[in-house]
Amino acid sequence: MRHEDTSAVRELRAFRTLDESTFTWLSGVSFVQSFPAGMTIHNQGQDADFLFINLAGTVELATRHGDTEGAVAMLGVGRLFPLASVVLDTQSLYFARTTNACRIAMIPAPIIRESMDRSPDFTRALLDELARENLEHVREINNQKLRGSIERLANWLLAAAAEQGPQIKLPYSKRTLASLLGMSPENLSRTLVQIRNHGVEVHGAQFKVNDPEQLRGVAKPTKLIDLVA
């Protein structure tokens, strides 16, 4: 890896506690590759041969069963995948696809597992990452099991507004948004019509939150489900 890529990985929470000699050995057998938008970089059911680290861009994790495909999560810079499958040396349960141009660091999975054997601190750091991933998944399960479609969309808008401000640009397709929110595209379309009555303007892939408090009244955010509450 180039020096700037090595530094970017070193600064990640999971790699800060790794001793210098082990990190030097690990980075020496790793590499970084650039991928265009729409490229599948890891397949569902594939052995987890590498731990991937997203250094630039956004990666979509998704699953497929027969002709049905569903988005699971969107990963920004600094996220690791498929971490659980690497630790357990098993097949991945999802595939990973770039939504825009990405730079991905790739560390051989056996090197990760050997580094865990060498460093209890590194093992604890990866355990922390897995615990955070688990909390994310449980939050999303609760979101989809316990809320109606308009509540899910309202909370997504609140979270997006916290990052982008009141003017929100959808960073991916509406079909992907529907999948992430556990809806069909048709259900999302109906819900977008409803959300206009609650302080939100909708213009294609652009949203404007005119009345955050009214939207919050619909969303009813809670710290047990939402990061923005």
Task: Give pLDDT, residue 1.
Answer: 81
pLDDT at position 227, please? 82
- CATH 1.10.10.10 region(s) of the chain? 147-219
Q: What is the pLDDT of residues 83-102, one digit of tens each?
A: 999 999 999 999 999 999 99
Q: Is 177 left (phi over 0), alpha (psi -120 to 50) or beta?
A: alpha
pLDDT at 229: 60
- Encode the chain (229 residues) as per-residue pLDDT tens digits: 888 999 999 999 999 999 999 999 999 999 999 999 999 999 999 999 999 999 999 999 999 999 999 999 999 999 999 999 999 999 999 999 999 999 999 999 999 999 999 999 999 999 999 999 999 999 999 999 999 999 999 999 999 999 999 999 998 999 999 999 999 999 999 999 999 999 999 999 999 999 999 999 999 999 999 987 6
Q: Read off the pTM.
A: 0.91
Q: What is the pLDDT of residue 197?
A: 94
In the chain, how long is the greatest CA-to-CA distance? 59
Q: Which CATH number does 147-219 carry?
A: 1.10.10.10
133 class by beta-carbon count within 10 Å (0-12 exposed, 13-18 middle, 19+ buried)? middle
As annotated, the residues of the chain forming the CATH 2.60.120.10 domain(s) are 3-136
| Angle, vertex CA 125, rays to CA 113 and CA 19, nearest 5 | 70
Q: Which CATH class is domain 3-136?
A: mainly beta
Tokens found for residue 148? 């109606």
pLDDT at residue 185, rounded to an integer? 94
Whether 228 and 154 have beta carbons less than 8 Å apart is answered as no
Q: Cα angle at 75 between 89 and 216, to 5 degrees? A: 130
